[in-house]
Chain A
Amino acid sequence: MHSTMFGSISFALFPVMIFGIVFMGSFLLPLLSVAFPAGDLAFLAHASFLLLGFMVGGFGLLGNEMMNRRFGQASLLVYSSRSLPLSERFIFTNFVVKDIVYYFFLWVLPFGGGYIAASPFLGVPLSRALLLLLTLSLSFLLGLCVVFLLSSLYVRSKAACLLIVIFLGIAGGVYTIWSGTNPTLLFPPYLLYSAFSWMTFLGTSIAVVTMFLASVVLFSPEGTGLSRTYRRRLGRLARVLSFLPESPIVAKDFLDLSRSGIGIGQALFSFVLPLVVIWFFLSLLRSSFPPNGLVVIFSLTAGIIASTIYTWVTEFDSFGPYSCLPVAVSTLIAGKMTTFLFLQVLPAVFIGTVAGISAGPEMIAPAIVLCLSISIYAAAVMAFLCGLSPSVLVYDVRVLLTYLVLDGVALVLFAAVSFASSLYAFLSVFLLFPAYLLFRAAGARWDARDPAGI
């Protein structure tokens, strides 16, 4: 099905590109290890795949509406539970398994494969390279299953989900204070990579399978035939936002986020939770960074993750529902980008709080500016390259390469200058200029093409 959706050579080349990058990048490891111990790099790799799992795992938030958006014209698959002797849970489980296999072949296997292929040239035993593939896979699956479980629970009972998150937070905090050690050091896949044991492997595998099964059981299929009524809010909201040229579209986006429950769910599972965990991982590497370097790196990471808020607001509708109205694709992109900008208050508050607590009040402003500048710039790059379909087109290898280069240059540049002095982080506001140009170019570029989704 994915070949139908994305069928092109560019998409098929994506894992080849990841393989190539990791294979060639592996030869830089001896150079990198001078500044960054090999153990830290392995730790970062595990953290990255845990993050990938977090980002992918919000399946519990998917109802038929979101599945339809993903499947587009193939939406008959979503409804096949009504015409075939298949339950919605069965179709949903197949969808999740398919997605897991898909991400495994897209990201995890090429990454591990690249390192395995390079290992003979680096003098790394093949068993260590294979172990890395195994533990990275477990990192990915653990992240995915944790968020899958929490998001499924969230849809069933927000209070229960919140209680569990609070309990885990308190438990982590108590452990940290009591033991004086960072709880991420107990992350099972990294423990396995450091010192393999069958018991840890079995325990981790059982945890993954249990969380997956519990998530499937908890999954709540979207109700059909319900006729709940809603208070009219669009007109009032559009009037409040009437200073914006795209106020009806922005108002509609806010209603979409609010009524679908996706807004808070995404904020929790695709933003706050991954970043809190990543913070614990990165904080272990504090000694490898210059003073305040940890906050700089974290601001940049938060900026990149905050840029994916653009995918939240484009996930709801394709151009189709607008095709009968005098609305250009560029107008829709502008509307979505405006909603995105409003939602940047979330990363601003989050990164400001983290910077204030961990590095003092003087780091709050530089961290916020750095995070938001990167986020807005990366979102503009995404809008230019992918228009209204970022979550689909980003897997076109040409698109991803361009995205990585354009974002990578900005990240390296502003990491370097901000490491030199945190005041230089303010220079990142200059990213808003190319961001504006890219946003304008995105409108012209996507207006000149037949829109997708009609």
Chain B
Amino acid sequence: MAAVIETKGLSKVYGDVTALDSVSLSVEKGTLFGLLGPNGSGKTTMIKVLTGQIRPTGGFATVLGLDAEKEGIRVREKVGIIPEQESPPSFLTAMEYLEFVGAVRKIPDIGERAEKWFELLEFGDKKDVLCKDLSRGTRQKLMFAQAFIHEPVLALIDEPLINLDPVMQDVVKEFLSDYVRKGNTIFVSTHILEVAEEICSRFAILHKGKLLHAGSVADVTAGGGHLPGFFLSLVRKGGHA
């Protein structure tokens, strides 16, 4: 299968802090790929570099065949992104924000698409409320909608289930699995290992900016093992290395 994400020796240094340390990784098309790691392991930096939001200090990354550093805007045209912390603009309503995204991405039928998302994620009653007045969970739903509203072949999502209630988490997990079954790829960064084990087919573990392991979830769980146990043993070993 073709790789939709490819990194070679990817590094990012902020002053004295090495956020990514020569990471080489490949993500194939049609995969729900989990990027796992403790807080501060470099997961968010990885997504920012892959989507051309920040520049690597070493190595390179290609996303959908595009150079993430030099063609960041084209990468962001093609992919969907849910950033970890960002909120939608304060003084637009939820509907206006999706209209704004539609105008920037040049989506002609944005109104109809937006309605579908309000229905799927059950927040149609909030569509005319300013984003600053939305709860964190509703903001997360809105960010989810903006990431998928143009039906990208690849989505890079950072902690997608955070702030969502258990019912909505279930809706989102089902959506993600279904989306991948249609041949799309999802690159999800999370530290909720149970979720990763449940929905991801492949995964990689980052720790202190270094890639500790990349492989298949099935390989870990085959002999009755579990991803959380595998992760903890690896990170603890890596932490003492």
Contact at B103–A248, with CB atoms within 8 Å?
yes
**Cβ contacts under 8 Å, B146 to chain A:** 324
Contact at B87–A450, with CB atoms within 8 Å?
no
Cβ-neighbour of A450 out of B55, B77, B89, B103 (below 8 A)? B55
**Cβ contacts under 8 Å, B143 to chain A:** 324
How many residue pairs at the A-B interface have CB separations less than 8 Å? Answer: 104
**Cβ contacts under 8 Å, A327 to chain B:** 73, 76, 104
Interface members, chain B 66-81 (any A CB < 8 Å): 72-74, 76-77, 80-81
Cβ-neighbour of A230 out of B77, B80, B93, B105 (below 8 A)? B93
Interface string of B91-120 (1 = CB under 8 A from A): 111011001110111000000000000000
**Cβ contacts under 8 Å, B73 to chain A:** 326-328
**Cβ contacts under 8 Å, A252 to chain B:** 89, 92, 100
**Cβ contacts under 8 Å, A328 to chain B:** 72-73
Contact at A326–B77, with CB atoms within 8 Å?
yes
Q: A323-B86, A324-B83, A324-B147 are in contact. Are A234 and B129 (CB under 8 A)?
A: no
Contact at A321–B96, with CB atoms within 8 Å?
no
**Complex: how many Å from CA A256 to CA B90?**
8
Contact at B93–A229, with CB atoms within 8 Å?
yes
Interface string of B166-189 (1 = CB under 8 A from A): 000000000000000000000000
Contact at A227–B55, with CB atoms within 8 Å?
no
Contact at B81–A247, with CB atoms within 8 Å?
no
The reply to whether the CB of A130 lies closer than 8 angstroms to some CB of chain B is no
**Complex: how many Å from CA A194 to CA B85?**
55
Nearest Cβ in chain B — how far from A388, in angstroms? 14
**Complex: how many Å from CA A448 to CA B74?**
16
Which residue from chain B places its CB closest to the CB of A257 in the assembled complex? B91
Query: Interface residue count for B (Cβ, 8 Å)?
Result: 40
Interface members, chain B 105-163 (any A CB < 8 Å): 105, 126, 128-130, 132-133, 143, 146-147
**Complex: how many Å from CA A231 to CA B133?**
15
Cβ-neighbour of B133 out of A226, A238, A320, A326 (below 8 A)? A226
Nearest Cβ in chain A — how far from B64, in angstroms? 13
Contact at B129–A228, with CB atoms within 8 Å?
yes
Interface string of B42-74 (1 = CB under 8 A from A): 000000100101110000000000000000111
Contact at B126–A227, with CB atoms within 8 Å?
yes
**Cβ contacts under 8 Å, B95 to chain A:** 232
**Complex: how many Å from CA A234 to CA B99?**
8
Contact at B77–A454, with CB atoms within 8 Å?
no
The reply to whether the CB of B88 lies closer than 8 angstroms to some CB of chain A is yes
Q: A229-B129, A232-B128, A454-B83 are in contact. Are A323 and B92 (CB under 8 A)?
A: no
Which residue from chain A places its CB closest to the CB of B134 in the assembled complex? A227
**Cβ contacts under 8 Å, B132 to chain A:** 65
The reply to whether the CB of A120 lies closer than 8 angstroms to some CB of chain B is no
Contact at B96–A228, with CB atoms within 8 Å?
no
The reply to whether the CB of A317 lies closer than 8 angstroms to some CB of chain B is yes
**Cβ contacts under 8 Å, B147 to chain A:** 324
**Cβ contacts under 8 Å, A231 to chain B:** 128
**Cβ contacts under 8 Å, A230 to chain B:** 93, 128-130
The reply to whether the CB of B36 lies closer than 8 angstroms to some CB of chain A is no
Given contacts A320-B85, A327-B76, list 4 more A-B pairs with CB under 8 A. A238-B99, A248-B104, A256-B89, A328-B73
Q: Chain B: residues with CB nearer than 8 A to chain A?
A: 48, 51, 53-55, 72-74, 76-77, 80-83, 85-93, 95-96, 99-101, 103-105, 126, 128-130, 132-133, 143, 146-147
Provide 30 A-B residue pairs closer than 8 Å at the C-beta atoms, listed in order of the A residue: A225-B133, A226-B133, A227-B133, A228-B129, A229-B93, A232-B99, A233-B96, A234-B99, A234-B100, A235-B99, A235-B103, A247-B103, A248-B104, A255-B91, A256-B91, A259-B130, A316-B91, A320-B83, A323-B83, A324-B51, A324-B81, A324-B82, A324-B83, A324-B146, A324-B147, A326-B76, A326-B104, A327-B73, A450-B53, A451-B53
